[in-house]
Structure 1
């Protein structure tokens, strides 16, 4: 028996149509979009166009050409942060960030002499809005925040922070790796300037595809990240300055984009609210039962409505790494142990350096999966007595 509870790392399984779309592109289309006028290349163009449209609809965005494809959200964050932030800027982020935000900002602090503030969040993983407001300086130019924690699922008050950013003319960049596809994400309601996304988590697409949505104001600050062939202005040795070509040099992952389009279409068909409600119900059941196991500590909010379905635990009777190993080896339960590429989050939670055992629920899990995991945890912990 195999139970997959590591959906925060990547969702599995995918909707059947995602597999079909990737295979169909590779076997029956195959051409390089934007690099030919023949039928198969134009079919590739159509799929990419449709995926940009689907992303606009999903995130309530309204500029097709400002939807950019990359290899993953890490690349998206590096493009947006490293090619926007200037010398002397004050930048604000939080202690709940993934290293995909923290590492680029740490490098910029050394190479561009930026002033960086990392605001300490609560033990439940939420930034205090007044702490944020008090951290703003005259030279504060950009804020970068995750929407939801990849460790405990805590959801940040982005709308309140976005409103302050607009009032203060501060650029606002969002990491939606854990929220896009799992909870509603609205570009304009949040009030951000750039929203980065990855395809292979709750958007249910394959690995190797991500991107970002960027407004015109932030785009004016940004330089190209990778320069090369775009299929446009081929007579010029200078990178085009118009979107999306400014950021999309080289061959796009067209099979990945085809799979991502099918993943988004599945979400739109099922309804993101319906997916969220199902996952919340499973998450709440899991948390409630975990709280009945005396030796287990559950981190973060105990109300599933305040988080995405990502649950971190530790046991006083067994190390989380050993517990995760036994779950896999003896029960076929796939989870994740350690620091989850978010060391400051674990310091905030008080779980550094050992980390936690993380379970993350996806749209294809059911109550039987959760009950089996609970049975396994109970059995292992009783065996430690």
Structure 2
């Protein structure tokens, strides 16, 4: 494959650290059996891989008991488990206008089938949330508040510490979608009063696709999303009650989770603070360059304001799909175009009819690659 400038880290981080590939290869060779389904050495080693991954994630997110982390195939599965497993008929839910379809669609499904009530609190044009609007949205039957820690379109960041305090005082549960923040922003579930945290393995945690997880507070019980074999309590008709088995039916992606463990280990070595600083400097540089192009409008918080490594924009001269196509074919630059599975955020930013181009950086992104992106956009608009 020809060299590529990869600016699509908000979808999947790439390339993966060498230790991720090494861990997956080692697990395939030495732990390629079913975890929890046998007492032979390979099965035991597979179980160790999964527990080691949970332990590493617990260290990153401030989780006291690693078994409160259910391993999933992605953030979408984690969010479905949290939303469908927690909400009951007649419950009221507060969400925001920056939610991904992984939140919105399960909520709308339960609205149709279970009679839950959903309120989407407005954000401003750049994705900032007024916490007073959240407070005013509470009702007597509000059981859940769902929010994206950072918008996958605008890069804006929700103040989790303050939001968690409000939700706790109101007696509800806070579910956080950390798809764009896990590994890049500090998250401590105890300090931030996070009841459930859904996260991907393949983005900021640097693991392979097909991995993710859900932290579930020990004070919360969910109905399982899936029922089936777990290797424990096999004589019982019902799904086991012990964690994490209750939420992990079927053979897991042990090889993938071995890679995730290595990815999280790399994140802990670099630290989220260092990762955020690297991405922050690159996004500021990219924004400064793109702002010089008259026909572009940048989305999300302005220069100098906190944001994750996402810079989305629209052009007055070209559609988002045409821009992304030309960047790929003419310049070898990978970005994403369209609606990014977040129509609510497009409504907030005024791009519901046009979509947007999204460039997103990661720890592997170099300054000269960002400079090439700026030069390409200047040439296209010249």
TM range (shorter): over 0.9
Cα distance in 2 between the residues matched to 1:224 and 1:304: 43
Q: Could you tell me which residue of structure 1 aligns to residue 133 of structure 2?
A: 131
Tell me, yes or no, if the aligned pair for 1:280 and 1:304 is still in contact at 8 Å.
no
Structure 1 residues without counterparts, runs of 5 or longer:
none
Cα deviation per residue 1:175-201 (whole Å; 9 max; x = unaligned)? 000000111111122211000111000
- How far the C-alpha of 1:27 sits from its partner, in A, is 3.2
Tell me, yes or no, if the aligned pair for 1:281 and 1:304 is still in contact at 8 Å.
no
Q: Aligned runs of 1:311-330 on 2, under 5 Å?
A: 311-330=311-330
- How far the C-alpha of 1:217 sits from its partner, in A, is 2.1
Q: Aligned runs of 1:198-237 on 2, under 5 Å?
A: 198-219=200-221, 222-237=222-237
User: In structure 2, which of residues 169, 172, 186 is the aligned counterpart of residue 170 of structure 1?
Assistant: 172
Is 1:333 aligned to residue 310 of structure 2?
no
Cα distance in 2 between the residues matched to 1:25 and 1:53: 17
Runs of 4+ in structure 1 displaced over 3 angstroms? none
Of residues 90-99 and 34-43 in structure 1, the stretch that sits farther from structure 2 once superposed is: 34-43
- How far the C-alpha of 1:296 sits from its partner, in A, is 1.2
SS in 1 for 2:190: helix
Q: Could you tell me which residue of structure 2 aligns to residue 182 of structure 1?
A: 184
Change over 3 Å in CA distance of 1:171–1:310 after alignment to 2: same
SS in 1 for 2:292: coil
Cα distance in 2 between the residues matched to 1:380 and 1:285: 19
- How far the C-alpha of 1:304 sits from its partner, in A, is 5.2
Change over 3 Å in CA distance of 1:76–1:304 after alignment to 2: farther
Cα distance in 1 between the residues matched to 2:184 and 2:85: 29
Q: Could you tell me which residue of structure 2 aligns to residue 266 of structure 1?
A: 266
Cα distance in 1 between the residues matched to 2:143 and 2:237: 32
- How far the C-alpha of 1:168 sits from its partner, in A, is 1.1
TM-score w.r.t. the length of structure 1 is 0.97
Is 1:87 aligned to residue 89 of structure 2?
yes
Cα distance in 1 between the residues matched to 2:248 and 2:317: 51
Cα distance in 2 between the residues matched to 1:183 and 1:94: 20
Tell me, yes or no, if the aligned pair for 1:283 and 1:304 is still in contact at 8 Å.
no
Is 1:287 aligned to residue 290 of structure 2?
no
Tell me, yes or no, if the aligned pair for 2:174 and 2:196 is still in contact at 8 Å.
yes
Cα distance in 1 between the residues matched to 2:63 and 2:203: 20
Cα distance in 2 between the residues matched to 1:252 and 1:277: 34
Q: Could you tell me which residue of structure 2 aligns to residue 72 of structure 1?
A: 74
Q: Aligned runs of 1:137-152 on 2, under 5 Å?
A: 137-152=139-154
SS in 1 for 2:67: helix
- How far the C-alpha of 1:225 sits from its partner, in A, is 1.4
Of residues 99-108 and 15-24 in structure 1, the stretch that sits farther from structure 2 once superposed is: 15-24
Q: RMSD of the alignment, in Å?
A: 1.0
Structure 2 residues without counterparts, runs of 5 or longer:
none
Cα distance in 2 between the residues matched to 1:67 and 1:175: 14
Tell me, yes or no, if the aligned pair for 2:30 and 2:45 is still in contact at 8 Å.
no
Cα deviation per residue 1:148-191 (whole Å; 9 max; x = unaligned)? 00001100122212111111110110000000011111112221
